[in-house]
Amino acid sequence: MRCCTMYAKWFTLQCVRVTNAVQVRYQDTRENVPKYYPDLRIKERLRRLCWTSSSTMVKAKKFVIAARFDGLPKVSDFQLVEEDTPELKNGDLLCETLFISVDPYMRLFGRSLKEGDTMIGEVVSRVIESKSQKYPVGTTVLAGYGWRTHAVVHEDDKHPLPTAQLRAVPADFPKELSPGLLLGVTGMPGMTAYFGLIDVCQPKSGETVFVNAAAGAVGSLVGQIAKIKVGGDFSVSVLNNHMKDHGRVAVCGSISTYNNPEVKGHYFFETIITKRLKLQGFIGAEYQAEWPAATTQVAKWIVEGKVKHKEHVANGFDQTPQALIGVLTGKNTGKAIVKI
């Protein structure tokens, strides 16, 4: 009896917590919540049990730019603000963020953000209320609505970045994998690694592959796909001293210069000429039409144990600015994400 009362109290408390955070209508979803995040499973079960009134308004948090970035971004460059989400119109869905991606490109794009703008970024979310047939309650989606705990988006919204379009988790994505991986090894950084190596470099048997920034989201997958040796400082050590004649270089980024635009990369023209090297810059998003098949392939490799992945997880929405600063100062090993 005592046990029952305690359970009832705990249960009521949890319900209050859940219904305070997100007000949802009861709906039975068969969504599989990943094993990796059991607390989400509990939250989801409680949500299914909580039949609350049909209000769509949620107190949402978001980070806006408080001051333009100057050098390495600072925590004080971001301001946490609260807002009420608007009521849903036809075709709208209310998303609750599960994971936020923090990526080096945000530093570059941050240059064009002004004070008051919501910080950009891709997220994995759960649909908690919906007036969209395409994305019913319980659907796990990827979206590009930035650093927000919740957002109302329209099913037909188009995002300026091709990689940040609203879409459901692919139907064939293994249920035992965390959907957070769609921000990492099976998502944009993983696709950059995959096509940078396979299409831009076109490695052949017997060749040696060097990877720069190999501890990160992109580099760590390149390394595994190619079974490579990790190089040192790329410009000086690898390009100048270690490239073989007719070597190919796929240039996807230049993270060491993002916080300091004054620093110019080193271009070793003599080496490029005498070794007849090919250097090709590329944007992973160019291969977007081929992403679904490559995502399926990488996910299969993970399930088969052929690819290992690491996530560098920051816990809690409030930690998002620190997580981005960590990425820009080399604090992460593997893909940096924030778990909300």
Ligand X SMILES: CCCCCC(=O)/C=C/[C@@H]1[C@@H](C/C=C\CCCC(=O)O)[C@@H](O)C[C@H]1O
- What SS3 state is found at 106? helix
Cβ proximity to ligand X, 37 vs 195, nearer residue: 195
Helix spans in 69-200 (H): 105-109, 188-195
Q: Which residue is nearest to ligand X (CB)?
A: 105
- Integer-rounded Cα Rg, in Å, for the chain is 22
Rounded CA separation 56/215 (Å): 42
Report how many residues bind ligand X under the rule CB under 6 A: 10
Interface with ligand NDP, residue 250, by CB under 6 A: no
Out of ligand X, ligand NDP, none, what residue 216 binds, judged by CB under 5 to 8 A for its kind, is ligand NDP
Q: Which residues contact 286 (CB under 8 A, 6 or more apart)?
A: 195
What's the min distance (Å) between Cβ of 126 and ligand X? 23
Which of 40, 57, 66, 105 is close enough to bind ligand X by CB under 6 A? 105
Interface with ligand NDP, residue 217, by CB under 6 A: yes
Q: Do the beta carbons of residue 75 and residue 322 sit within 8 Å?
A: yes
The backbone torsions φ and ψ at residue 99, rounded to the nearest 5 degrees and listed phi first, read -140, 145
What's the min distance (Å) between Cβ of 231 and ligand NDP? 11
Rounded CA separation 11/5 (Å): 10
Cβ proximity to ligand X, 140 vs 192, nearer residue: 192
Span from 199-207, 225-233, 239-247, 278-286 in contact with ligand X (CB under 6 A): 278-286
Interface with ligand X, residue 146, by CB under 6 A: no
What's the min distance (Å) between Cβ of 235 and ligand X? 15
Rounded CA separation 286/126 (Å): 27
Interface with ligand X, residue 251, by CB under 6 A: no
Q: Do the beta carbons of residue 321 and residue 192 sit within 8 Å?
A: no
Rounded CA separation 10/155 (Å): 37
Which of 138, 179, 190, 284 is close enough to bind ligand NDP by CB under 6 A? 284
Interface with ligand X, residue 283, by CB under 6 A: yes
Taking phi over 0 as left and psi of -120 to 50 as alpha, with beta for the rest, 65 belongs to beta
What is the 3-state composition of the chain as percent helix, strand, coil, each rounded to the nearest 5? 35, 20, 45
From the number of C-beta atoms within 10 Å of its C-beta (0-12, 13-18, 19+), residue 85 rates as buried
Interface with ligand X, residue 321, by CB under 6 A: no
What DSSP string describes 61-89?
A: EEEEESS---SS--GGGEEEEEEEPPPP-
Out of ligand X, ligand NDP, none, what residue 163 binds, judged by CB under 5 to 8 A for its kind, is ligand X
Which of 22, 325, 328, 337 is close enough to bind ligand NDP by CB under 6 A? 328
Which of 15, 108, 169, 198 is close enough to bind ligand X by CB under 6 A? 108
Which of 104, 146, 216, 219 is close enough to bind ligand X by CB under 6 A? 104
Encoded one letter per residue, x for contact with ligand X by CB under 6 A and - for no contact, window 173-202 reads ---------------x--------------
Span from 4-12, 151-159, 235-243, 248-256 in contact with ligand NDP (CB under 6 A): 248-256
Rounded CA separation 327/321 (Å): 10
Interface with ligand NDP, residue 189, by CB under 6 A: yes
Out of ligand X, ligand NDP, none, what residue 106 binds, judged by CB under 5 to 8 A for its kind, is none
Report how many residues bind ligand NDP under the rule CB under 6 A: 27
End-to-end Cα spacing for the chain: 35
Name the site residues for ligand NDP (rule: CB under 6 A). 103-105, 188-189, 192, 213, 215-219, 252-256, 282-284, 327-330, 332, 335-336
Name the site residues for ligand X (rule: CB under 6 A). 104-105, 108, 161, 163, 188, 253, 283-285
